[in-house]
Amino acid sequence: MKLYKIETYCISELKGNELHNALTWLDEFPIETENNDGKMRLEYCSDHWNNGYEDEVTEHCEINDYLFAYDGTPIHRFIKENHKTQLT
């Protein structure tokens, strides 16, 4: 078995194009919410981030264990589906 070390970053640690890449990936899976009128709407992490709600996006990533590589790529894309891993 080969062991690889991947340096990971929280979304709050990313800047510039790396942050853009991470937000673009998050926007592929918008959050469906219900407004006060009972209508469903989609919320995008990039909108929250750009409107000053970085803490909400950071919390969303922490809750879902989303970590990113140096270029903003989500690290789960480096992990094969048939391998068991544990992040510490």
Q: Using a CB cutoff of 8 Å and minimum separation of 24, what contacts does 53-60 make?
A: 54/12, 57/11, 57/23, 57/26, 58/10, 58/11, 58/12, 60/26, 60/31
pLDDT at 79: 66
Provide the mean pLDDT of the chain.
87
Which tokens belong to 60?
């969303």
* pTM (predicted TM-score): 0.79
Chain segment 57-75, per-residue pLDDT in tens: 999 999 999 999 999 999 9
pLDDT at 48 over 80: yes
CA distance 7 to 69: 6
For the chain, the domains span 11-76
